[in-house]
């Protein structure tokens, strides 16, 4: 499912405040934005901390582990850039932030809320990547 030979998935959109996220993913790292002053992790990224209003921010490597908070399968019209309908999911990461992603390696019939997942990386057609999530193997990893 995730090992397309020639990727057709759309590239992510790089905005000035979120470019670090997609650059990280393309290198195989899941990064979050952390405030350098109060340590608050925010997603989506933004140029100012909503808690202490600092503009000093740093990237932090995220665990890549989370649970599925919600999920859907877009059936019609077919999404652009997918050979088969993906499972689109909202992942709640251990760090307490949510992000939109895909769940892979789970059959649509077996999909349910609350399953534990961990990050993988899926290539996009222009040579970038996005984070996707597969069922967690359990226990410590890499």
Partner 1 sequence: MSKFAAIAGIGQTEFSKASGRSELQLAAEASKAALDDAGIDPADVDGMITFTIDNSDEIGLTRCLGVKDLGYTARIPGGGAASVATIHQAAAAINSGACEVVLVWRAMNERSQYRFGQPMAPPSGGVVNIAGNGTGSLLWCMPFGAQTPASWGALATQHYMNTYGVTNGDLGYVSVAQRKHAATNPLAWFYGKPITLEDHQASKWIIEPVLRLLDCCQESDGGVAIVVTSLERAKDLKRKPIRIVSSAQSIPAEVEVISNYYHADLNVMPEAQGVAKRLYQRSGLTPKDMQLAMIYDAFTPQVLYQLEAFGFCDQGEAKDFIKGGNIEVGGGLPVNTNGGLIGEAYIHGMNNITEAVRQLRGTASNQVAKMTNALVSCGMAGAILSNS
What are the phi and psi torsion angles at 11 (to 5°)?
A: -70, 150
Residue entry with tokens 């979050």: 32
Is 78 a binding residue for partner 1 by CB under 8 A? The answer is yes
Structure tokens at 55: 């503009």
Q: Which stretch binds partner 1 (CB under 8 A): 29-37, 56-64, 123-131, 134-142?
A: 123-131
Closest CA to 102 of 62, 19, 111, 128: 111
**Contact with partner 1 (CB under 8 A): which of 88, 115, 134, 136?**
88
Distance, in Å, from the CA atom of 17 to the CA atom of 78, rounded to the nearest integer, reads 30
Q: How far is the CB of 51 from partner 1 (least distance, A)?
A: 11
Is 99 a binding residue for partner 1 by CB under 8 A? The answer is yes
**Site residues for partner 1 per CB under 8 A:** 9-16, 18-19, 43-44, 50, 69-82, 85-86, 88-90, 98-102, 108, 113, 124, 126, 130, 132
């Amino acid at each position: 499912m995730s090992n397309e030979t020639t990727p057709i998935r759309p590239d992510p959109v790089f905005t000035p405040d979120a470019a670090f996220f997609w650059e990280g993913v393309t290198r195989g790292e899941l990064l979050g934005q952390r405030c350098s002053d109060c340590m608050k992790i925010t997603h989506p990224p933004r140029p100012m901390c909503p808690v202490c209003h600092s503009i000093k921010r740093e990237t932090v490597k995220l665990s890549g582990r989370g649970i599925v908070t919600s999920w859907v399968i877009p059936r019609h019209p077919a999404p652009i850039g997918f050979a088969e309908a993906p499972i689109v999911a909202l992942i709640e990461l251990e760090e307490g932030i949510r992000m939109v992603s895909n769940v892979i390696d789970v059959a649509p019939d077996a999909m349910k809320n609350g399953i534990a997942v961990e990050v993988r990386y899926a290539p996009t057609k222009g040579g970038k990547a996005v984070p996707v999530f597969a069922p967690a193997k359990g226990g410590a990893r890499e």
